[in-house]
Amino acid sequence: MSLVETITKDMTIAMKEQDKFSLSVLRLLKSALQMEKISKNHDLSDEEAVVVIKRQVKQRKDSIAEYEKFNKLEEVENLNNEIAVLSKYLPEELSEEELNKLIDTVFDELKPESIKDMGKVMKEVTARAAGRADMSAVSSLVKERLN
């Protein structure tokens, strides 16, 4: 069963259980997935669906930062709950240890000499992490090693 089908099935379950919060989050996600499907002109693969879900999580994290500036804690809690619902559909993130091993491997293979090689390193790490790592964290780790 594809990720999009799983989300649709979970929407049905949320409707039956009258879980209005999860249902509203899943409806927003389903809408975002549908928009992506229309823009790409084909059914989404699981990898493409994960990209959309990550985008939704990132939007909510950005909103959390804004709400925290203005001390709106109820909205922050609500957004954290939405992220929890969305995170069920994301692949498990690499641990910091696994991420460091991956970066070590890429460094051993590419042997970067300066910050100018960061693009090559990031491209390779991104391909190997396959959406299972926060790329801003990866970027800071790579930059730290190159300096």
The answer to whether residues 70 and 136 belong to one domain is no
The answer to whether residues 37 and 82 belong to one domain is yes
The answer to whether residues 101 and 69 belong to one domain is no
pLDDT exceeds cutoff 80 at 131? no
The per-residue b/e assignment along 6-39, b for 16 or more CB within 10 angstroms, e otherwise, is ebeebbeebeeeeeeebbebbeebeebbeebbee
From residue 58, give the alpha-carbon distance in Å to each of 6, 18, 38, 143: 21, 27, 21, 22
Query: Of 52, 87, 122, which residue sits at a domain end?
Result: 87
The answer to whether residues 72 and 126 belong to one domain is no
The answer to whether residues 132 and 83 belong to one domain is no
The answer to whether residues 139 and 121 belong to one domain is yes
Closest to 136 (Cα-Cα) out of 99, 104, 109: 99
Compute the distance between CA of residue 70 and CA of residue 81 in angstroms, rounded to an integer.
19
The answer to whether residues 15 and 81 belong to one domain is yes
* CATH number, domain containing residue 130: 1.10.10
From residue 130, give the alpha-carbon distance in Å to each of 6, 31, 104: 20, 24, 17
Q: What rounded mean pLDDT belongs to the chain?
A: 91
| Highest mean pLDDT out of 17-26, 41-50, 102-111 | 17-26
The number of distinct structural domains making up the chain is 2
pLDDT exceeds cutoff 80 at 111? yes
Query: In 10 A of CB 42, how many CB atoms?
Result: 8
CA 40 to chain centre: 19
Mean pLDDT of 32-54: 93
* CATH number, domain containing residue 65: 1.10.1510.10
Compute the distance between CA of residue 20 and CA of residue 94 in angstroms, rounded to an integer.
32
Q: Which residue is associated with the tokens 């039956």?
A: 16
Closest to 103 (Cα-Cα) out of 73, 70, 126, 75: 126
Residues spanned by the domain of 23: 3-87
Query: Of 87, 109, 136, which residue sits at a domain end?
Result: 87
Query: In 10 A of CB 142, how many CB atoms?
Result: 21
The answer to whether residues 109 and 80 belong to one domain is no
- pLDDT at position 70 is 93
pLDDT exceeds cutoff 80 at 76? yes
pLDDT exceeds cutoff 90 at 67? yes
> Which band of pLDDT confidence, cut at 50, 70 and 90, is reported for residue 113?
confident
